[in-house]
Structure 1
Amino acid sequence: MPARRETGPSIDDATAVARVRAGDRDAYAGLVRRYTADAHRVAVLVGAGPDADDVVQVAFVKAYRTIGSFRDGAPFRPWLLRIVVNEARNAVRAARRYRGATERSAQLDGFDAALLAPDPAVEAVATERRAALLAAVRALPEPQQRVVACRYFLDLDEQETATVLGWPRGTVKSRLHRALKRLQAELYRQALDVEQEVDHG
């Protein structure tokens, strides 16, 4: 009886990519399973919100079609997540244009555009502390949001973050440093606000 060929999570990325290039669709299915959660987190953090699932699906299709351009020896995860970031940005821009057109149309029809409910950007978080942290991250300028998301929510190293975001490594370092200083100041301010509420409660 022939040995069963490994195509699931037990093979490494380089082996899986080589098999995909040789026409093994099961190997690609294994990569999809391995990185769907990370890809979804990236899409949400970049702002795709309710369109995150669609963004991830399009990104995986695009990665499959362009896997021939993937450089041998490079890490697969950052390469894939960069495609996700680009697709999420496209989706965010398209959604913004659509919302603008919808609001203009509603105003022309005599409806109050303020009644149009904004799409939620992320699912409700489990704890108040996590909610406060995510709110502080979302209040950062967009480039700083992205670098924090890559380094701490996705646990990418500096070089992987640079690859995903398409920035020089020095830019990653400087933006991350500024982002962490702003986060620290914001979380400290929130803690003081809570203390004052308790004191006056």
Structure 2
Amino acid sequence: MSRARGGDLEAYEVLVARYTVPAHRAAVLLGAGDDADDVVQEALVKAYRQLSRYRGESGFRPWLLAIVANETRNLHRSRRRRDGLALRAAAVTEPLRDEPDPADTVLARDRRERLVRTLKLLPERDQEVLVCRFLLDLGEQETATALGVPKGTVKSRTARALGRLREHLATEEVPGA
């Protein structure tokens, strides 16, 4: 460790070889999914850049795993931002060229806004699967790959999420009713 802190790249390579597997396991368990490799790589680069801050009080492994945990949290935040963008993009409607009645456009926009607003009330897992399946128009296998879950999990989550969405929509007040 002291050689790595002194700038010895070969010494740091030994640390990387020793701690990559536990770092990857931590990233997966913390929810990085298919992005675990990227999380670990970023964590190892940050650890190298911050070696001068390492005090050795708790060992290199826990210090590195703390960086992995922070990188995984950053990944979750960026996923939420991305999903939020997808929800906002779905809420935006552009007038259709062949739209016969402007009132239909207004009603469709209102329904879409209500749907997106209600979708945001659902738990994050429900939002993710519904956004992938219906707003991004991904198939079950594509959704499974995107979320890092089995195809059967996508099917069951979709069914449950649609049920919850229907319940929310049914209980929401309808304007003018």
TM-score bracket, normalised by the shorter chain, equals: 0.5 to 0.7
Q: TM-score, normalization: structure 2?
A: 0.53
**The structure with more radius of gyration:** 2
Offset of residue 114 of structure 1: 6.8
1:65 equivalenced with 2:49 (yes/no): yes
Deviates more, 1:68-77 or 1:32-41: 68-77
2:20 alignment partner, SS class: helix
Hey, what does 2:129 align to over in structure 1? none
Code of the residue aligned with 1:115 in structure 2: it is D
User: What displacement does 1:42 show?
Assistant: 1.0
1:145-165 Cα shifts (integer Å, max 9, x gaps): xxxxxxxxxxxxxxxxxxxxx
The CA deviation string for residues 48-68 of structure 1, in whole angstroms up to 9 with x for no partner, is 112111111110011011111
The CA deviation string for residues 60-86 of structure 1, in whole angstroms up to 9 with x for no partner, is 011011111111353110011000000
Judge conservation of contact 1:107–1:113 (CA < 8 Å) in 2.
no
TM-score by length of 1: 0.47
Alignment of 1:1-201 (within 5 A): 17-108=1-92, 112-113=134-135, 115-116=137-138, 117=143, 119-121=146-148
Secondary structure of the 1:115 match is: coil
Quote the residue 1:152 is aligned against. none
Look up the match of 1:176. Answer: none
Using the alignment, how far apart are the partners of 2:35 and 2:66 within structure 1? 17
CA distance in structure 2 between the aligned counterparts of 1:49 and 1:96, rounded to whole angstroms? 15
| Structure 2: 5+ residue stretches without partners | 95-111, 113-133, 151-177
Q: Alignment identity in percent?
A: 50
CA distance in structure 1 between the aligned counterparts of 2:8 and 2:18, rounded to whole angstroms: 16
Q: Residue 156 of structure 2 aligns with which residue?
A: none
Deviation at 1:107, TM superposition (A): 4.5
**Deviations 1:1-37, CA, capped at 9 Å, x for gaps:** xxxxxxxxxxxxxxxx101112210111111111111
Structure 1, unmatched stretches of 5+, are: 1-16, 125-201
Alpha-carbon RMSD across the aligned residues, in angstroms, is 2.4
Kindly provide the amino acid, as one letter, of the partner of residue 20 in structure 1. A
